[in-house]
Structure 1
Amino acid sequence: MDTQQNTALTRALAEVPGPLPTSGVIHITLPHTDRFTVVGNHLAQHPDLSCTAVGLAVRIQSLPQGTEVSIKALTARCQEGERRIAAALRELEAHGYLQRFRHRLPGQKVITRTVFCNQPAALLRPRSQAPVAATAQAPIPIPAPAPARSQTHVPDPEPDPDPAPVRPVPPVPPVPTGTSAPEAPVPLPAPPFVPPPTAPKPPRPPLPQPGTLTPELDRAATALLSDLRRHAPEFTLSEGDIHHLAPAVATWLERDAHPDTIRRTLTDDLPQPLRHPVKLLKHRLTALLPPPLPGACDLAAPSRPRVVVTPFQTCDDCDRAFRSPDPGHCRDCRETREHRGEDARVAA
């Protein structure tokens, strides 16, 4: 049995198109002929959904129309507990894949309806009203006979492969013989489960430009870009691309960046496969641009402010120490001298 399994695996690996990766997962993709569900990468690789939420979304998407998907029903089908399933349903509801709302039946009974959308982002696209009205069906069979449809097929001028979201419609009871048909049920308002549109991407920053593009800088930058293919064959650039990127490389050289440093920055740790080498060079030349080297004045230590200290002096009368820039008398002795002078003037 081991030999048969290894032989089958070897044969399958030999049929994988292209060279096998040196690391990471190797996919052996066999086509499905029955019992399969199409799942978009926006769900399978969602960055904000947990693995439990992604797996539960795939399980719900694979169930037939009308299957019970309450917390208790999913707990009976899955190995996770009620808490994990409830948390995963809240995640799917927050990201627009699931919507739960209450609906009142004609008999005053309130039930919870669940709507699952396999691609919420597609609901933001503009849709024509004609094909939606022609293809929308109620999730519950309507016993009343439906009017005959016209066999003439009107093609959609802008076909959309994604189906329109199904709006739940309450069942219509059968019309007794001899009575008038009841009024058509009022459609329920669309549940607000459409996520907000994504914000537009900010414009890309322009390529760096040197202060003065001298002929020496332009020649050195052009030579460096032309020499990149010796170190990385992916960067075999055209003359137009080299002429477009030369000012950005000249900015690096103007800021005293060594050519070997620039070459390592542009060619190290490349993504595999590299599909857009010129876009990668633009990004690295702009995002990794070093600042200009500081001058000698910028590297000098800041001078501390000079603190002037008033020296001590000795009073000529009482020999008391006091602070003053000039020798003489302390404050008490000056006041005593002033008081004696006033007394002498009064006595005179």
Structure 2
Amino acid sequence: MDTRQNTALMRALTELPGPLPARGVIHIAIRHTDRFTVVGNHLAQHPTLSTTAVGLAVRIQSLPQGTEIGIKALAARFPEGEKLIAAALRELEAHGYLQRARIRLPNGRIVTRTVFCNQPAALLRPRAVAPLPQRRPAAPQFPAPQIPEPEPPAPEPPVPEAAAPQAPVPPDVQHDHAPRDHAPRDHAPRDHAPQDHTPFVPLVPPPTAPKPPRPPLPHPRELTTELDRAATALLGDLRRHAHQLVLSENDIRQLAPAVAAWLERDTHPDTIRHTLTTDLPQPLRHPAKLLKHRLTVLLPPPLPDPHDLAAPARPRLTVTPFQTCDGCERAFRAPTPGHCRDCRNAHSPAQAAA
């Protein structure tokens, strides 16, 4: 009674079509849309590979190109020890999934190159079909595609035999000068291959919304001669601080108004230089585009006016002063001297009687 029930899993079981098996595993297959790896059943259901070798092969297939998969590197990622991982790699190597070879680099260093094949049986298949002997092929066992009856051909200039599509000719009327190295009957020429009319489904879905247009390059309110000269000098001096930022004269001419907009907003040249030369990508292929992006996105706002920085005047509160009662000498708040509330109430009946 204390076993937790996965309600989502039980709800998915009720939505499966058809009767469920009374015993054995029941699959709930949810289609992957991202971050998945295709694994063949020849590996997942291999009769002789151990479970560790199968799991290690699946993990290696999911890694990107160039990832280190040595014994020590894999042992640092998995709870299994180096001996178990080395034994699993030897199993994969014995069955053709893995190949390790020691090669010498041009600098004389010897390294181990590891190659993993997700389907080693495909490498054993012949790459090219051998030419058939000169014999009559047997009747095909599969239904031939229906070809519409051609109309009487119109006279046309002769074309090369390799480029002209030919209708199928019975074997008993083939000419003796037909090429002997033609493809077998099960490999039809490209012109006679049945066309697949399945609609093309792109693997990457289109974006849900159009991308917003990029903001324009900033410009100063008034591009004076002093601002243009300072901006041009700052852009031409960037290569002294970062050798990747080599700009052409045309690039400097286009980016100078943006730097002038920074200078117009009282930005120090050292601040602009630090913003444009810090954390550059490696390698930097388009320096002008990077500077244009940073000058547009990181543009600081204008400095506020000194009057805007002053604290707002707080409203003055009117405080009623303390007064000393003329009758009981008790302190009370009132704008003018006099009696407190109790003394005024006590004197009111007497004044009324008089």
Q: Which has the greater radius of gyration?
A: 2
Higher RCO (C-alpha under 8 Å, 6+ residues apart): 1
- The two structures have a TM-score, normalised by structure 1, of 0.45
> Normalised by the size of structure 2, how large is the TM-score?
0.45
Q: Of Structure 1 and Structure 2, which has the larger fraction of its residues in helix? A: 1
